[in-house]
Amino acid sequence: MTSPDTIQPGDAEKPVRGDGSPNLRLDLLLLSVILLAICSMSWIVLNLIHSVIRNDLREVLSAVASSTSSEFQRQAAEKIRQVESLAGSTSVREAVSRSLEPDPARSQPEKDTAELENLLAGMLGTGRFAGFCVVAADGSILARSGALSAAESAFRQLLPAYRKTNQPGAGRFVLLDGNEGESLFIAAAPLTDNQDQYLGWLVFFNRPAAELSTIIAVNPLGPDGAVFFFDRGGRLLAAGLYDQAAGENPHPGWAASGNPAATAAGSGPYAAAGASGRTGEQISLDLDGYTGIRGTEVVGAWTWLPSPGVGVAVELDLAAAYQSYRWIRLLVLTAFGLSVLLFVVLLARLAGSRQDALARAEQAVVANERLQQEIELRGKLEKIIQENDEYIRSVVSSIMDGVITTDSSGRIETLNPRAEKMFGYRDFELAGEKLSVLAASPYSRQLTQRLGRYARDGKASFIGKAIEIKGRRKSGKTFPVELSVAEMKLAGTGKLVAIARDITKHKRLEKKLREQSSLDGLTRIANRRTFDSTLAHEWKRASRHGLPLGLIMLDIDFFKNYNDSLGHQAGDQCLRQVAAVLDKLVRRPGDLAARYGGEEFVALLPETSPRGTSYLAEKIREQVEALGMVHPASQVSAVVTVSLGEVNFVPQRSQDSSVLVSAADQALYEAKHNGRNRVIRARE
């Protein structure tokens, strides 16, 4: 019998197997599984980050476009109110009537015209308009200021259509088309004499750059963004580029009104938006990239405002918008590439080592050395895998959002530094704890139920979706969090990756924008839109449950006379004080005080008895009168008073909420007709 370590004759002629061994195939399988796991985790992380960044871009661009449109519409409404107020003043009415008086005995028509021009020139002195003209009903110009003859001619072409709406309160704010000349904004109001006979139109002009300067000066996006306005043909009207200091002009040619060659807007998506005339209720977005007004690739949002015929667009440089994603992707792909390279190198070395070992398989000493080499090589491989895992961890740690990994049952395994800072825990403090420990009630219970269902039957409706919850810090404080959870398989084992984002700042901005859109700008109580939506909701609730619903509508007595005698600043102060009385008295949860329009206010009173509605209406009347605001032009009192109409009944499902408003309005009319400064209840 021979020793296993003894070399026998003829062994040198035995063929050496070169097709590999079971150990080689096992190592190859193990490396393939590890490489597949790294690839899967990289793909999941990249997709989650890309989705989060796109959602952020959508929310930011939509919010800036919406707030810019709202501010523009608010300023337009204010300009109409100013021009209507001036057109309705007694001095302007009398001056226009004298200019039109056909009395041949009058020998001072030039003096009348000069008097009218001097009277209206005060509006130009405030810097709000660039010029004006008074257009008679026959299209002739009675008075003018500013070299704007092309604009006057364009407005006279609109005069036949405007005669159909020439009653007081029919003011217009539109953009005159700049296809053949300079584009201009006009604020126009009909003129009538003291008997409300139609005389013509009072028209103020302004250039887009001056009209829009205060809006485009805002800087919410930083040096890589732009906000601008365009007309129906996609031509640029005015632009605010956020790499400019306040007050500086844009780059040469960018502010040239009506110049399609100066910008890409004339051939971009904005020209299509203006031509289609889509309403401002819809904001269009392009997050994939297109050529912006600066000739670079951008992402953007735009909307069209049919009245006054202006579009609003917001752009953000494409490279800046996705810069963080590109850096993260580069890091992840670099790590993956290094892993592949190491895999190939190690595989080649392993194959070579095994071929060499098989060639000397007959020698026991050489076989032992080869075995030792394999052990050392396996240790090196494990060390490289460990180093690669640490590299991936460092990439995850650099992400600005919190990244939390758990097992398939939702028990926390790791937290990146951002997650530790966000929740106040160290990584080892939460090891083995449920993910729901980071959520406040009731979200903690909901998260526990969802994770339990996933661990039980693999069903998880929340996987791959972003949900908003209340997070809970170690100190016990709660804060809003956007949580996205993804699942992955690592060597056959299920894992969950949760990305948490602190959205406190976003919620504050969202609340601020919501308040700006729901409050009246002058009185700081609810506006008409808020009242309409609240009334619709309370009407349905009251009709469904058979509850009473009360409404008070009030109007300041002889408010126009108050404005004419004391001026509009005093009138604005009067409106604010009346609104303050309403805000003080209408304080019950669910009640709403709102400015309905002009000098009219409303108070909506859910679940209030008829007696309670009448009591509150009388209380409002008394406290407004008790303010003691002097009213030199009132015909019923020496101080400011209000007339009120109130109604209260249980809505029926077959009725519409307009029944309640109409009844209160009719009662208000009777209160004014019966002598004012009184409360009238609507007839049943």
416 and 468 fall within a common domain: yes
The half-sphere exposure of 308 on its side-chain side, counting CA atoms within 13 A, is 26
Predicted pLDDT at 570: 94
The rounded distance, in Å, linking the Cα atoms of 292 and 268 is: 8
Task: Assign residue 617 the CATH number of its domain.
Answer: 3.30.70.270
In terms of C-beta density within 10 A (0-12 exposed, 13-18 middle, 19 or more buried), how is residue 346 classed? middle
Predicted pLDDT at 658: 93
> Is residue 39 included in any domain, yes or no?
no
544 and 446 fall within a common domain: no
567 and 442 fall within a common domain: no
The parent domain of residue 137 ranges over 88-206
Task: Assign residue 198 the CATH number of its domain.
Answer: 3.30.450.20
> Is residue 9 included in any domain, yes or no?
no
529 and 666 fall within a common domain: yes
Which residue, of 322, 340, 362, is where some domain finishes? 322
Catalytic residue among 315, 538, 599, 646: 599
Into how many domains does the chain fold?
Answer: 5
447 and 595 fall within a common domain: no
Which residue, of 450, 484, 509, is where some domain finishes? 509
Q: 662 forms bridges with which residues in the sheet?
A: none
Predicted pLDDT at 271: 57
> Is residue 60 included in any domain, yes or no?
no
CA 87 to chain centre: 36
Instruction: Report, as ranges of residue numbers, the positions in the chain whose pLDDT lies below 70.
Output: 1-24, 102-112, 122-128, 146-154, 157-161, 163-169, 177-182, 218-219, 241-281, 347, 350-367, 385, 388-389, 391-400, 458-461, 490-492, 515-516, 684
> Is residue 289 included in any domain, yes or no?
yes
Which residue, of 398, 428, 453, is where some domain finishes? 398
Q: Is 196 helix (H, G, I), strand (E, B) or coil?
A: coil
In terms of C-beta density within 10 A (0-12 exposed, 13-18 middle, 19 or more buried), how is residue 654 classed? exposed
> Is residue 23 included in any domain, yes or no?
no
501 and 587 fall within a common domain: no
Q: Is 57 helix (H, G, I), strand (E, B) or coil?
A: helix
> Is residue 6 included in any domain, yes or no?
no
The predicted model scores a pTM of: 0.44
> Is residue 61 included in any domain, yes or no?
no
Predicted pLDDT at 21: 58
Contacts of 535 (CB under 8 A, 6+ apart): 551, 604, 657, 660, 661
274 and 404 fall within a common domain: no
Q: What is the pLDDT of residues 523-567, one digit of tens each?
A: 999 999 999 999 999 999 999 999 999 999 999 999 999 999 999
Predicted pLDDT at 61: 86
The rounded distance, in Å, linking the Cα atoms of 30 and 346 is: 12
Torsion, Cα of 196, 571, 645, 639 (10° steps): -110
382 and 289 fall within a common domain: no
Predicted pLDDT at 448: 82
540 and 585 fall within a common domain: yes
332 and 404 fall within a common domain: no
190 and 261 fall within a common domain: no
463 and 608 fall within a common domain: no
Predicted pLDDT at 576: 96
> Is residue 62 included in any domain, yes or no?
no
Q: What is the pLDDT of residues 26-81, one digit of tens each?
A: 777 777 788 788 788 878 888 888 888 888 888 888 888 888 888 888 888 888 88
Residue 71 appears among annotated catalytic residues: no
CA 183 to chain centre: 29
